[in-house]
Structure 1
Amino acid sequence: MKEKKSEETVEQEEFNKSESGVQFTDIMKTQKGESIEQEISNNLDTGISFKEIIKDEKKTIKRADDNEKIKQYEQIYDSLYEFTKGFVAYLKMGKKPQLSEAFRLIEYIVDNSESLDILYRKAIYTKTADAHISNIVNVIIYALEIGEGLKFKRQQLIELGVASLLHDIGMFRIPDNILNKTDKLTNEEFSLIKSHPSLGHEILLKLYPEYPWMAEVALQEHEKENGQGYPNGLKGNAINIYAKIVGIADIFESLTHHRPQRKRFLPNDAVKIIISKERETFPREVIKAMLTKLSVFPLYSYVRLNSKAVGMVIEVDEPSPLRPTIKILYDDKGRKVMGEKIIILKDTPLLYIIDSVDEEDLPK
């Protein structure tokens, strides 16, 4: 007779899957030759169709067309990273970091919203020395993108960005040997990890009582729409909307970056996993905003077409995120294409993207 698994054991197994490397092979299996658009549509057949998600979006086209501005915005990522590293170092020393610089950085991003396209690509593809710090920075960027998709006002976006910076503050009370452990966590270690929302809430209420929403987001980030989250099993409207956004952004960040026991998923695969595994745990409008704003194929990312040619995404049409405009870089034999060859996929029905390509996997 099979021994029944305890609720804690089942929950820990789910945590280990997302954090340390079980390949989601059951999710990723698809019919041979099926396009990414078909796969995502199929994953949404239990209540949210892809066309329904994007049909009412205002037509928005993003282009890659200003190299100087691109470089300027890329430096924002480095500034955020260095600031966050210093911020965390202060906390670990028992000091109270000032939030004025955090607000200034977030305000700059919000007031230059086109910078998010550049920051998004940096967040997806940049490798840093400290994964815990880059996780925080990347979640800020993904959360702001989703907030824009939800049509948040300026002040809401600023609050969301600062809350994202502080969402995992409780983790820095957890010993490094547990945070960096590559083996399966013991029940005691897992319970300690799960205490970080409460720890973060306690820290933020003490340090910044004038910003109660920060502490609330840290406490509720792991709550789920269906009540199956922690620490308090909250449901629906009882969960702060910022916490819901940070929660889904944190999952996307985890999936799109390396973990000790698995390689990272490319953005299109991460989106499929979230749709398959999390559609009951986040509200429809947040999932919709994630799909439209965390583009399946980010601006400046590399993709492979069904023709086997490889190109760079140079234009994204938000109502049709699966059919961007591509600049072909390599032909079907892997040879560098001379001159400029542009393909507008939404006007070319016989061609479609079959996969994302990591920069390090481009033909040499």
Structure 2
Amino acid sequence: MIKKVQANEVQLGMYIHEIRGNWMEHPFWRKSFKLAQQKDLDKLVSSNLEAIWIDTNKGLDVVKANPAKILDGVDSDKPQSIKKPIARVLVEEELHVAKKIQNKTKEAVAAMFADVRMGKALEIEEAELLVNEINQSMERNPNALLTLIRLKNVNEYTYMHSVAVCVLMVALGRHLGLSEVQIKQAGTAGLLHDIGKMVIPNEVLNKPGKLTDEEFTIMKSHPVRGWEILKSCYQVHEAALDVCLHHHERVDGKGYPEKLSGDALTLFARMGAVCDVYDAISSDRCYKAAWSPAESIRKMASWKDGHFDESIFQAFVKTVGIYPSGTLLKLKSGRLGVVMEQSTKKLTTPIVKIFFSTRANAHIPAEIIDISKGMDSIESIEDPAKWGFDLNKIQGI
């Protein structure tokens, strides 16, 4: 039976049939799921939701609910291993550590890709260890690595794109509530998803102009070529093979190489498709300039033709923000600021570092403000090139 309940009536063991309200205002990427984790219950209770509907045929009723019992095959009477949480730190503090992790990961990817070019066996143990470091960095402060992935030049795009997709996959996996094992698999899949590009001729891979039909056919072979490379490596998990082969598929079946659609696409493949496109369009390429992070999100949201899984894309937006880190904003006060972090309250109210007054046309003392606290409001997204600002320097990266 479908029943409407209040947020304070929801308990572990219930099956959430539907969450009513704007998807940007609640922390869940699914509208229906079994409520089995305390952290999800805490999020649900603290969210400002219009209505919550439960299905008593699939989960517990209000009267029968017992928070001491955890569903889905987990026995609450047995001791559960509890991971000690990592203390949260300021983004400025984590940036120093995140830079080292990013550089180590880039070097590891470059070494793996070089091995593939020379026909050597692929060794991924170091990469998996680095994925763990990335996950730990994001637990301390996810905004540091999400800020750094924008830093790449055209010459090292292939390597840094793989690092960025790894970071985005880990961040998205954390938002989706995946297990530590699944997050590791998602991150490793992100690192290896473009390994097939190492067997694509450089004159095609790095061509500054539009590809011919023949060249595009060659380029489109990289998912299969990469899958063949990874298939020969016994250490590679199935998730990496899946994302490598299917990160260019679309939910409407118009992608490649297998034109899979709907339920035929796994969660990892759907995640990989979103993360891959976001980093690609928000990066400078040999044939086009990057869109800004906020413009990239806007463009992806406008593709209503079945390009992405809607729930995964919505979860991704909640992960990176409507105004991702590095977005230049003009506030109603006339001040300019760069987005440093996402607010835990609303997607539309990030934490911003203000540094310039458009009314005085002059720099002002830098100050961090949390727009969710009503200290100011957003008027528009601005183009840094128009103002001549080096936002990386302003952000301290």
Instruction: Say whether residues 1:134 and 2:104 are aligned partners.
Output: no
Q: Which has the higher strand share?
A: 2
1:98 counterpart (112, 123, 129)? 123
1:171 counterpart (188, 197, 213)? 197
Q: CA deviation at 1:308?
A: 3.5
Q: CA separation of 1:261/1:89 partners in 2, compared to 1, >3 Å: closer, same or farther?
A: closer
2:348 counterpart (312, 317, 322)? 322
Aligned length: 313
Q: CA deviation at 1:102?
A: 0.8
Kept after mapping to 2: 8 A contact 1:220/1:243: yes
Instruction: Say whether residues 1:53 and 2:23 are aligned partners.
Output: yes
Map of 2:247 onto structure 1: 221
Instruction: State percent identity of aligned pairs.
Output: 24
RMSD over equivalenced CA pairs, Å:
2.8
- In 2, the alpha carbon distance for the partners of 1:268 and 1:132 equals 22
Kept after mapping to 2: 8 A contact 1:279/1:287: no
Q: CA separation of 1:235/1:144 partners in 2, compared to 1, >3 Å: closer, same or farther?
A: same
Q: CA separation of 1:136/1:315 partners in 2, compared to 1, >3 Å: closer, same or farther?
A: closer
Q: CA separation of 1:275/1:101 partners in 2, compared to 1, >3 Å: closer, same or farther?
A: same
Q: Note the alpha carbon deviations across 1:285-305, whole angstroms, 9 max, x for none.
A: 211111100123334654322
Kept after mapping to 2: 8 A contact 1:63/1:315: no
Q: CA deviation at 1:63?
A: 8.6
Structure 2 residue identity aligned to 1:139: V
- In 2, the alpha carbon distance for the partners of 1:293 and 1:356 equals 22
Kept after mapping to 2: 8 A contact 1:331/1:337: yes
Map of 1:335 onto structure 2: 362
- In 2, the alpha carbon distance for the partners of 1:130 and 1:300 equals 20
- In 2, the alpha carbon distance for the partners of 1:193 and 1:117 equals 33
Counterparts of residues 190-339 of structure 1 (less than 5 Å): 190-208=216-234, 211-277=237-303, 280-299=306-325, 302-332=328-358, 333-338=360-365
Give the TM-score normalised by the residue count of structure 2.
Answer: 0.72
- In 1, the alpha carbon distance for the partners of 2:210 and 2:326 equals 37
Structure 2 residue identity aligned to 1:134: M
- In 1, the alpha carbon distance for the partners of 2:170 and 2:315 equals 11
Greater radius of gyration (CA): 2
Highest RCO, 1 vs 2 (Cα 8 Å, sep ≥ 6): 1
Map of 1:81 onto structure 2: 106
Kept after mapping to 2: 8 A contact 1:304/1:357: no
Q: CA deviation at 1:153?
A: 1.0
Name structure 1 gaps, 5 residues minimum.
1-49
Give the TM-score normalised by the residue count of structure 1.
Answer: 0.78
Kept after mapping to 1: 8 A contact 2:207/2:287: no
Q: CA deviation at 1:327?
A: 3.2
Q: CA separation of 1:252/1:278 partners in 2, compared to 1, >3 Å: closer, same or farther?
A: farther
- In 2, the alpha carbon distance for the partners of 1:148 and 1:321 equals 17
Structure 2 residue identity aligned to 1:107: N
Map of 1:21 onto structure 2: none
Q: Note the alpha carbon deviations across 1:298-354, whole angstroms, 9 max, x for none.
A: 34654322444212334421441221233321111331213x645432343873141
Q: CA separation of 1:279/1:105 partners in 2, compared to 1, >3 Å: closer, same or farther?
A: farther
Q: Note the alpha carbon deviations across 1:40-63, whole angstroms, 9 max, x for none.
A: xxxxxxxxxx96222221479x99
